[in-house]
A and B are shown apart, each in its own frame.
Chain A
């Protein structure tokens, strides 16, 4: 009896060892760990800013217009006397929300599309991937802008539009993974047991392709944040009174010569956020798939 218990223990250990190994490798990567702490800290700050900040986000103070950073207003104030620290982290909150939602949308589309193409193979695969190839080369920013100008500046539409154009690489990655996994014996076994296609895709193929999917999803967050900031900077994204890091930078850029801190702080926060997310994603890739390390 005891030997059976020992065997199953070993198997349990083996089962979790991929993720444990990855975790050990990730812990050793100092830059990735620092980055993940930064990201978590930013998240918490973005959530807690209304509680922590003594200044409401949109309260206008005409007696403190365009103040340089000081002990009371750490990030200074803008041309309406609003506290920039509160506004920057409020903007961060919207940027993070956009990044996560749009990533989720593109994740859902990309995973399903790639899995279906990779699973059915043959003509279906060729047709579906040909479509991805064609759309891949197009300037998707133009289409997001068309959608934004046609449907008005609705934040939900913004989420959807960004998500809808950024699923292509995800579809390619998932398809490649699924293609190789579906050749494995356990999938054949499932098939021979008469398991339905849909169940094979969702139960067997996608979970086994999870590593690269997680890595790419992490790397997609900074990209979607960047797209949102880009649109907001052009005036086509978030509309006042709401603000994201991109629209704050846009406001700041127009008054840069007099109030340089208006662009400096949102810009630096955005750059640190993107830097940390990119480094964390890279570290995660190295940890989950050491072979992919370049």
Chain B
């Protein structure tokens, strides 16, 4: 077990190193430097600027410096756009907001998704099943950037129940979390239904019924554990997509999260910021995938950690 954990952690570390390397060189082959603008500063100032940011050094040396700063000191350096602020400051401010949004959305997605998937599976081919699955299909098909404005229009502008933008307290969290969570709720519902239907046909469920367990115990004790395994596997990639999805939701609802900083940095060509945030987000997701995988080995007795 310990060896397995160690090996996985080491693997995750190398993935992060790989991402750092790839993103660094990707950004560096970009045409144009970070200080290009209509008003070119005099060459002396340019030289000083380049010296300050070590841009006059050979590329490999710059890479080594950057990789060391990031991987050892967790320091992503200054933003090129806002030189007086560091990328770390943006992360400190923005990440808690994005994390909170992601957690709430995940809770909504899991609650709605699992319960509607369960209903669909337990009453297979009934009216409940069909309507739950049609709703799930609808949820997968309506993109968040259509759903979000729709929610704003209905619950904010027409009904005046909830604020349409901002991030100032509990009632500000409702619409963004609902928007971000709905697509994942739909996928989880489909996965839950599929997983549960597969489990129902297994021998050990028949055994459980045959030995006279009540239906409730059969479902809660025996079916859920195996039936929800596909959902657990899905949570890793879902978290990755959710970080991406938060960019859109943060834009729609004017949420001051990290996703919006990332999009702005890409639009402004703030290269250090784009680079830093990519590495940061990827590292978070690699870590999350690791946790999901380890949880999986505990949940499914058939999986052995090699």
B197 to A233, Cβ gap below 8 A?
A: no
Q: Does B294 contact A (CB under 8 A)?
A: no
**Residues of chain B in range 95-112 having any CB-CB distance to chain A below 8 Å:** none
Residue of A nearest to B278 (CB): A142
B164 to chain A, nearest CB (A): 9
Q: Annotate B223-243 by CB proximity to A: 1 below 8 A, 0 otherwise.
A: 000000000000011001101
Question: A230 contacts which of B141, B145, B286 (Cβ < 8 Å)?
Answer: B145
Residue of A nearest to B152 (CB): A256
B80 to chain A, nearest CB (A): 13
For B, the interface residue count at a CB cutoff of 8 angstroms equals 51
B247 to chain A, nearest CB (A): 6
Residue of B nearest to A263 (CB): B149
Q: Does B59 contact A (CB under 8 A)?
A: no
Question: A146 contacts which of B26, B145, B289 (Cβ < 8 Å)?
Answer: B26
A230 to chain B, nearest CB (A): 6
Q: Annotate A253-291 by CB proximity to B: 1 below 8 A, 0 otherwise.
A: 100110010010001101110110011000000000000
Q: Does A164 contact B (CB under 8 A)?
A: no
Q: B residues within 8 A CB of A270?
A: 143, 146
Question: B29 contacts which of A150, A257, A278 (Cβ < 8 Å)?
Answer: A150
Q: Annotate A218-258 by CB proximity to B: 1 below 8 A, 0 otherwise.
A: 00001000100110011110000000001001101100110
Question: A137 contacts which of B141, B148, B193, B237 (Cβ < 8 Å)?
Answer: B237
A236 to B266, Cβ gap below 8 A?
A: yes
B289 to A137, Cβ gap below 8 A?
A: yes
Interface centre among A141, A226, A235 (most CB of B within 10 A): A141
A23 to chain B, nearest CB (A): 23
Bound together, the chains give a CA A148 to CA B274 distance in angstroms of 12
Q: Does A193 contact B (CB under 8 A)?
A: no
Question: B278 contacts which of A146, A230, A249, A272 (Cβ < 8 Å)?
Answer: A146
A149 to B274, Cβ gap below 8 A?
A: yes
B145 to A249, Cβ gap below 8 A?
A: yes
**Which 5 A-B residue pairs are closest in the complex by CB-CB distance?**
A267-B146, A141-B244, A275-B141, A274-B141, A137-B289
Ordered by A's residue number, 8 sampled pairs between the chains whose C-beta atoms are within 8 Å are: A138-B19, A142-B244, A146-B278, A147-B26, A230-B244, A233-B251, A246-B143, A294-B194
Bound together, the chains give a CA A143 to CA B240 distance in angstroms of 12
Bound together, the chains give a CA A222 to CA B153 distance in angstroms of 26
B146 to A263, Cβ gap below 8 A?
A: yes
Interface centre among A140, A142, A250, A267 (most CB of B within 10 A): A142
A250 to B145, Cβ gap below 8 A?
A: yes
A146 and B282 contact, Cβ closer than 8 Å, known pairs A249-B145, A267-B146 = no
Q: Does B23 contact A (CB under 8 A)?
A: yes
A271 to B262, Cβ gap below 8 A?
A: no
Residue of A nearest to B148 (CB): A253
Q: B residues within 8 A CB of A275?
A: 137-138, 141
Binding site for B on A (CB under 8 A): 134, 136-143, 145-151, 222, 226, 229-230, 233-236, 246, 249-250, 252-253, 256-257, 260, 263, 267-268, 270-272, 274-275, 278-279, 294
Q: B residues within 8 A CB of A141?
A: 241, 244, 247
A230 and B153 contact, Cβ closer than 8 Å, known pairs A142-B278, A250-B145, A271-B141 = no
**Residues of chain B in range 204-227 having any CB-CB distance to chain A below 8 Å:** none
B165 to chain A, nearest CB (A): 11
Residue of A nearest to B277 (CB): A142
Q: A residues within 8 A CB of B23?
A: 143, 146
B159 to chain A, nearest CB (A): 14
Q: Does B285 contact A (CB under 8 A)?
A: yes
A249 to chain B, nearest CB (A): 6
Q: B residues within 8 A CB of A146?
A: 23, 26-27, 266, 274-275, 278
Q: Annotate B144-156 by CB proximity to A: 1 below 8 A, 0 otherwise.
A: 0110111011000
**Residues of chain B in range 5-33 having any CB-CB distance to chain A below 8 Å:** 11, 15, 18-19, 23, 26-27, 29-30
B202 to chain A, nearest CB (A): 15
Q: B residues within 8 A CB of A250?
A: 145
**Residues of chain B in range 250-306 having any CB-CB distance to chain A below 8 Å:** 251-252, 262-263, 266-267, 269, 274-275, 277-278, 281-282, 285-286, 289
A229 to B143, Cβ gap below 8 A?
A: yes
Interface centre among B145, B157, B193, B240 (most CB of A within 10 A): B145
Bound together, the chains give a CA A227 to CA B289 distance in angstroms of 22
Q: A residues within 8 A CB of B248?
A: 230, 233-234
Q: A residues within 8 A CB of B193?
A: 294
Q: A residues within 8 A CB of B152?
A: 256
Residue of B nearest to A229 (CB): B143
Q: Does B198 contact A (CB under 8 A)?
A: yes
A142 and B150 contact, Cβ closer than 8 Å, known pairs A149-B274, A233-B248 = no
Q: B residues within 8 A CB of A148?
A: 266
Residue of A nearest to B11 (CB): A134
Residue of B nearest to A257 (CB): B157
A256 and B149 contact, Cβ closer than 8 Å, known pairs A139-B240, A145-B262, A236-B267 = yes
